[in-house]
A and B are shown apart, each in its own frame.
Chain A
Amino acid sequence: RKEVEQDPGPFNVPEGATVAFNCTYSNSASQSFFWYRQDCRKEPKLLMSVYSSGNEDGRFTAQLNRASQYISLLIRDSKLSDSATYLCVVGRRYSSASKIIFGSGTRLSIRP
């Protein structure tokens, strides 16, 4: 079983729709949580950190449920430019080091 699991998609939704992704993680010692987006043949770019209290950045809302060990990302009023792969990333610290584990990504395609 992978440590970070995501639905690979693809999600194909019309412009203006609301779309939600979920991600589950198996290691309860995980301490930090992120969503990255990756465009085709590009590097991952940090979209947002995810906190227990939830956080919002414009059209994007991220939630963390520690009890159930899942993270969600909600995109409202989706734009064509939102088409990308969304990577769920989970981190944990041990000793003086930190390690992050990537999910395999969820592909999103927004159609006009």
Chain B
Amino acid sequence: EAGVTQFPSHSVIEKGQTVTLRCDPISGHDNLYWYRRVMGKEIKFLLHFVKESKQDESGMPNNRFLAERTGGTYSTLKVQPAELEDSGVYFCASSPSGREQYFGPGTRLTVT
């Protein structure tokens, strides 16, 4: 069974540019989560989808971040405009039940 996939694996952009990260969850998993790990800090929750609905977006840092999951399959996380402090690794995870979560390999975002 294919795991969670994320694209791109690595992105380097300049401050002020826009970046869109994509996550494809495990097939059949209704729950999809985005997390971020900033260097030296613990992994922090960003938001949670159940199918196409946002259940909890309390972890989104500010309105420069926009997540979508149209059709309840893959999800995108757009950062516009990117700032230096947005650098980090963005993980996506999916879960069939909302309990155990399975993580993708992450997208390493560097904003210069």
Residues in chain A within 8 A of chain B (CB atoms): 2, 4, 32, 34, 42-46, 49, 87, 91, 93, 95-105
Contacts and interface: CB of A to CB of B under 8 A. Distances in A.
A91 B45 contact: no
Contacts of A96: 50, 55
A49 B43 contact: no
A97 B42 contact: no
A105 B99 contact: no
A98 B59 CA distance: 13
Interface size class of B (residues with CB under 8 A): 20 to 34
Chain A interface, DSSP helix/strand/loop, else mixed: strand
Contact of B48 (A43, A99, A103, A104): A99
B64 interface: no
Interface stretch (B11-19, B68-76, B80-88, B103-111): B103-111
Contacts, number: 50
Interface of B: 31, 33, 35, 41-45, 48, 50, 55-56, 58, 91, 98-106
B45 A93 contact: no
Contacts of A46: 100-102
B104 A97 contact: no
Q: Which 9 A-B pairs have the closest CB atoms?
A: A97-B55, A43-B103, A104-B42, A102-B43, A97-B56, A98-B98, A102-B42, A44-B103, A43-B105
Tell me which of A96, A97, A102, A103 has the highest count of chain B C-beta atoms within 10 A of its own C-beta: A97
Among the interface residues B31, B35, B99, which one has the most CB atoms of the partner chain A within 10 A? B99
A93 B98 contact: yes
B42 A43 contact: no
Contacts of B56: 97, 99
Given A43-B104, A96-B55, A99-B56, A91 B42 contact: no
Contacts of A43: 91, 103-106
A32 B106 CA distance: 24
13 contacts: A4-B42, A43-B91, A43-B104, A43-B106, A44-B91, A49-B99, A97-B50, A97-B55, A97-B56, A98-B48, A99-B56, A99-B58, A104-B41
